[in-house]
Structure 1
Amino acid sequence: MSFIRNIPDNSLSDKELVNRYKNSGDLGVLGELYQRYMDLVYGVCLKYFKDTEQSKDAVMQIFEELVSKLRKHEVENFKAWLHQVAKNHCLMQLRTPRNLKTVEFKTELVQSEENVHLNGVLEREENFQKLEHCIGTLAEEQHLAIRLFYLEQKSYHEIAESTGKEWNQVRSLIQNGRRNLKLCMEKTETSVKPIQKSI
């Protein structure tokens, strides 16, 4: 799986990394711990979704869940606990009505509210100029990350390698960038609604 970046084991146990993350809140520590089991999480997601791209997206979503979830739970066996978290995430996604396959709505596009919004925009050619304008309002690093991820279809790992950023930094840039894009697009859409109604 090319999107998974393997890192050397620094000899700390899972339990030690869990405790270090709980005490410090350092996402780098959580990222190091999570990367040990990304292949396991990906396998669980693939088993449920039967789709590689959706499974890759779920791996990133589950990491985002862990940021707060791990600090709230007492975890003795991180691997077993993570397996259950991944399983629950997949089951919740499959049970959510918006993720059911229909003619109009593609399951593989479902990642989050922000992603659904952006993917819909990208599919509508008439909104491309508005999207270009909003991308131009982003901070330079967010601008680059969004272009690579959405327009050039690069993975988190590929973006990290090409920009020299850490995986966690790439995740943060894309997450914040798509939120800013969503806000910009909503403002743009709101501003043109009265014109559309008067025609």
Structure 2
Amino acid sequence: MEDKTKPDHLEIFTDNALMLKVKAGDLDKLGLLFQRYGKSLYGFYFRMTRNAELSEDLVQDVFERVLKYRHTFRGDGKFTTWLYHLARNVLADHLKKTKRAGISTDIDQKQDKLPDLSVPEEARQKEEHLQLMERALDQLSEEKRELLLLTKLQGLKYKDIATLHNCTETYVKVKVFRAVNDLREVFMKLQAKGINI
């Protein structure tokens, strides 16, 4: 017969349970939430800004806000919805601040990319396809880019995004559908032009 009394450090907590512990003052649990969501938040920010250092800073800002606003987490909704609400606010605040300061937020800052001649042709074509898709994504409005990143890459459900945007799930579906169509259209135009990456 199994011993059901596991030590606390071996228990697996849900996101909500961890956040409720953080809210109650067990701040060590914030590290577990960072482990679970730090990388996906970084991916979200990097795809929005194309700036690695800035993305790391924004992730740190989100977790500072998680700590600062922990008292607002009720636990009746999904933790990820609450987290991405904070993440969107952090990005919006950053954009406002840089705009006020007159700092360029040109997201076309690309890393130096040299073609890897050792990569087989098929892998090279896939890489070019992905880079072209990233360029197409960059040309969409911030709203459309965010919707696609949240649904397709971060895996948020339509109902969670509806909660984030304070709108209906149907409205989100329509907006995502339009964003996907716009992305496809921009991608096809770039492909037809034979844009060099």
TM-score between the two structures when normalised by the length of structure 1: 0.43
Please identify the structure whose Cα radius of gyration is greater: 2
Q: Relative to total residues, which structure has the larger helix share, 1 or 2? A: 1
TM-score between the two structures when normalised by the length of structure 2: 0.43
